[in-house]
Amino acid sequence: MQDTEICYMPALEMAQAIKTKKLSPVEVINAVLNRIERLNLKINAYCTVLDEYAREKARESEVKLMNGDKLGPLHGVPISIKDLTYTKGIRTTSGSKLYENFIPDRDAIIVERLKAAGAILLGKTNTPEFGFMGVTDNLLFGPTRNPWNLERHAGFSSGGAAAAVAAGMGPLSQGSDGGGSIRIPSRFCGVFGIKPSFGRVPRGAGSSDWRTLS
């Protein structure tokens, strides 16, 4: 299968292809990371890319697959995490100079559950400072560009997440939405974005700071 076909495969189809051994987790991660390497300098969807981590987790996923272990619903499927959301041991800046070197000591609940489901973290996606700006831009990483037209922006504040999916740099991206921050970049970038009903996704420590809105 060609790398481009892998990179644009819907997540559920990818998960099924991995479980039936039509695709390997290593093959998937290599294809997506190669695409990120080619495109991210132009689009700037990712502010942190976890090359070594993702490849190591892909190898672990492949061993579990070949051993016949019980697999989660997203086993081997790559996903990105918005840079507002805590990831244990991985820099989480919230797009702010104040947190430029902040490394959380815990995962947000959504990250815990994604890992438990077998998803593989690709990296952190760009966001405006604390998610509070009408474009995805900040003093640390600069603007995220729209994959369809690099002279346009990708919306806010999950703009990096939407741009990553639209450009085939991962089939899934976690975002957060208090005032349109999933819905607006999804529309700008031409992808599907879902804001769940409030309370559907537990918040806990390390979630977005928009309290009862996000």
Q: Write the CB contacts of 80 (distance below 8 Å, at least 6 apart in sequence).
A: 45, 46, 121, 122, 123, 124, 125, 160, 161, 164, 169, 170, 172, 173, 174
Predicted local distance difference test score (pLDDT) of residue 196: 87
DSSP class per residue in 110-175 = HHHHHHHTT-EEEEEE--SGGG-SSSS--TTT-PPEETTEEEEE--SSSHHHHHHHHTTS-SEE--
Is there a domain that residue 208 lies in? Answer: no
pLDDT digits (tens, 9 = 90+) for 149-198: 999 999 999 999 999 999 999 999 999 998 899 999 999 999 999 998 88
Examine the residue annotation and report whether 82 is marked as an active-site residue of this protein.
yes
Q: Which two tokens stand for residue 130?
A: 């604390």
Q: Is the dihedral of CA 155, 159, 164, 165 positive or negative?
A: negative
Is there a domain that residue 111 lies in? Answer: yes
Is there a domain that residue 87 lies in? Answer: yes
Q: Which domain holds residue 130?
A: 3-189
Predicted local distance difference test score (pLDDT) of residue 211: 62
Examine the residue annotation and report whether 208 is marked as an active-site residue of this protein.
no
Q: Which two tokens stand for residue 101?
A: 């070197």
Is there a domain that residue 204 lies in? Answer: no
Is there a domain that residue 32 lies in? Answer: yes
- CATH number for position 158: 3.90.1300.10
Is there a domain that residue 203 lies in? Answer: no
DSSP 3-state of 10:
coil
Distance CA 50, CA 65 (A): 22
Count of domains forming the chain: 1
Catalytic one among 94, 96, 176, 181?
A: 181
Q: Write the CB contacts of 129 (distance below 8 Å, at least 6 apart in sequence).
A: 94, 95, 96, 138, 139
Is there a domain that residue 93 lies in? Answer: yes
Catalytic one among 80, 157, 176, 208?
A: 157
Predicted local distance difference test score (pLDDT) of residue 206: 64
Is there a domain that residue 139 lies in? Answer: yes
Catalytic one among 24, 61, 80, 82?
A: 82
pLDDT digits (tens, 9 = 90+) for 90-109: 999 999 999 999 999 999 99
Residue 202 banded pLDDT, cuts 50, 70, 90 = confident
